[in-house]
Amino acid sequence: AVAEFTRAGAAQEAARARWREAAAKPAVTPDGHAASVCVNSGNTDSLKSFRADLCDGVGLFRTEFLFMDQNDYPSEELQYRASRAVAEAAAGKEVIIRTLDIGGDKQLGYMDLPKEANPFLGYRAIRICLDREEVFKTQLRALLRAALHGHVKIMFPMIVTLEELRAAKAAVARARASLRAEGVPCADHVPLGIMVETPAAVLLSDVLAEEADFFSIGTNDLIQYTTATDRMNERVQYLYDPCNLSVLRAIQTVIQNGHHAHIPVGMCGEAASDERLLPLLLAMGLDELSMVPAQVGRVKHFIQNTPFATLKALPAEVLGQREIGEAKRILAQYEKEGL
Ligand code: PEP
Ligand code: MG
């Protein structure tokens, strides 16, 4: 047993060394297909250890921690300083800052949110922000100011309708106008995109793509809402499967509709670093994968060692299946080849 564990440990260490090396190089396949590999960030610690030279930017900056670390609403100044810090740390690389996604599993005493029977289907994220204009406006003002210090993009979570996207964009315009009226410097143009994490947004993605500057697929919620499976409930975890064919179809639809409208499509849910899905996501043409920093080297290593041409047939092959097990069997063959 000792010999076996020693061997496994050495193999793991060798793999880690390869991944560290891979992290320092761009994510391009041997035949020249590039994909951005970014990091998710969502607390003060992750900001301290952030290394812009090892990734293509921040694909998801969760702003909830700014609200959760406090006993009261964070001021515009505090939010501005945190957003500016991440924008500067990214050194010119993209930083996608997501507006407040509170509610659902994340509660805040001082916000006085109602107790709900189905919080994941209730008052959360953009629904709260559009309802509480002052909270939203304070955050948007902070982000528009921070955008002067880097390549900032703003992303709205939990979008379900075009009306919500339009209302969020109008709130950005009002926040900018209020800054200008006060003579406060802010960015003139900040790309405004959405998380695609509801089946509604998937089915409407052709329409949403015409008015959003980018998409980021949030698989953590998309799997939950597509399969009607609570992401926090262990008893139904067997259904919470990123390889579920309905989820894979949803991902393909979003990428196709995004590209049809010439906007970039990324993914910032956990599935973006799921080794079973990497070949498929790459083959489907996903432009950006965003993940916890620890996964960046492994994902870049996979991309750097997988000729894009060998993946051409994969989407049709996988999505042509009827059973999840069959799709997984096909994906497993590619997984071995690449890593
Ligand atoms: C997601 O839903 O995939 C996502 C990235 O958002 P969160 O996990 O914060 O809900
Ligand atoms: Mg989500």
Residue 137: other Cβ atoms inside 10 A: 17
Question: What is the full DSSP assignment across 119-170?
Answer: GGGSS-THHHHHH-HHHHHHHHHHHHHHGGGSEEEEEESS--SHHHHHHHHH
> Which atom of ligand 1 lies closest to the CA of 157?
6
Q: What is the model's pLDDT at position 88? A: 95
Distance in angstroms (rounded) separating the CA atoms of residues 294 and 277: 17
Which ligand is nearest the CA of 61, by number?
1
List all residues whose CB is within 6 A of at least one atom of ligand 1: 60, 62, 101, 197, 218-221, 268-269
CA of 54 to the centre of ligand 2 (A): 25
CA of 30 to the centre of ligand 1 (A): 31
Dihedral over Cα of 96, 101, 107, 112: its sign = positive
Q: What is the model's pLDDT at position 339? A: 54
Q: What is the model's pLDDT at position 247? A: 98
Which ligand is nearest the CA of 98, by number?
1
Q: What is the model's pLDDT at position 337? A: 52
Residue 45 phi/psi, 5-degree rounding, is -60, -45
CA of 157 to the centre of ligand 1 (A): 8
User: What does the pLDDT profile of the chain (339 residues) look like in tens digits?
Assistant: 999 999 999 999 999 999 999 999 999 999 999 999 999 998 877 777 889 999 999 999 999 999 998 899 999 999 999 999 999 999 999 999 999 999 887 888 899 888 899 999 999 999 999 999 999 999 999 999 999 999 999 999 999 999 999 999 999 999 999 999 999 999 999 999 999 999 999 999 999 999 999 999 999 999 999 999 999 999 999 999 999 999 999 999 999 999 999 999 999 999 999 999 999 999 999 999 999 999 999 999 999 999 999 999 999 999 999 999 999 999 999 876 545
Distance in angstroms (rounded) separating the CA atoms of residues 183 and 153: 22
Provide the β-strand partners of residue 251: none
CA-atom Rg of the chain in angstroms: 20
> Which atom of ligand 1 lies closest to the CA of 220?
3
Which ligand is nearest the CA of 220, by number?
1
Q: Which two tokens stand for residue 230?
A: 């609570």
Under 8 Å between Cβ of 290 and 50: no
Q: Which of 101, 158, 274, 292 to mutate to test the pocket of ligand 1 (most atoms within 8 A of CB)?
A: 101
